Amino acid sequence: MAQGKPVSPDRSRKGRVPAPRKLPSQSRSRSLVSALIEACIRVLEEEGSEALTVNRLAEVSGVAVGSFYQYFPNIEALLGQAFEHVLREEAAVSVPALRASVAGLPLEDALREILRDMVRTELRLHRLHAEFHLKYHPELQMGMRIGPYASSREFVDDAWLPFVTLYVPELEPERADMAAYMLCMAMRSVIRAALEDAPERVGQGAFLDCLLAMALGMLDPRLPCRVRQGGPGET
């Protein structure tokens, strides 16, 4: 049986996506793991998360149950690899297409397309396996797969800050930095909260409209209005 590389557990952060036992190092073992990942996605998309069992994966993939446990300690570890596959696919295919589609658009139109794609990606992940998506949401940020980023801070500085400074150059540096951070992190957090509380709302046009209004407010240099300081009763 082909040997793989053991994966050292990293428990430095709470809520980290479970890791496989080891990574495949030879072509045969890589094919085996790929078959399991593809079977996992297929079962989730066609049969739902309730059907995802080791025995069902063995039937769909043709991989023996014993081989599954050689590489994965449990279903969640395989789910982590399946979500990673989807996220990297999104980063490789959808992100370049999105960049091409928003090039030259006015700010509001560009933001609408970016937020629409953000919602689409989050819905895709949620429909794949809602419980896993919500549980490990901080680790499932597609933007982190675009480049070799060590932190979300690096991603914000590389992807969002240039967008903000291009479209709203009059923002002060501190405000531009915060706006870039909020556009990246707060928008995802709002979507995640809605998916947990009222998932039926997330696909509605009004939900996207409200996200867009929030984003435009972050980028409006006139907001917040500076209220004149005065004593009680003054307006």
- Residues 2-42 pLDDT 10s: 345 444 444 334 579 999 999 898 999 999 999 999 999 99
Please report the pLDDT score of residue 223 as a whole number.
Answer: 87
Asked whether residue 142 carries a pLDDT value surpassing 80, the answer given is yes
Asked whether residue 150 carries a pLDDT value surpassing 80, the answer given is yes
Query: What CA–CA distance (Å, rounded) separates 137 from 30?
Result: 27
- Residues 103-136 pLDDT 10s: 999 999 999 999 999 999 999 999 999 999 999 9
Query: What CA–CA distance (Å, rounded) separates 222 from 170?
Result: 10
133, 16, 8, 3 alpha-carbon torsion, rounded to 10°: 0
Q: What is the torsional sign of CA 110, 112, 118, 123? A: negative
The residue-averaged pLDDT of 214-219 equals 97
Query: What CA–CA distance (Å, rounded) separates 178 from 165?
Result: 12
| pLDDT band at residue 226 using 50, 70 and 90 as cut-offs | low
The pTM is what?
0.87
Cβ contact 79:129 at 8 Å: yes
Distances (CA, A) of 209 to 3, 165, 183, 205: 51, 23, 15, 6
Asked whether residue 231 carries a pLDDT value surpassing 80, the answer given is no
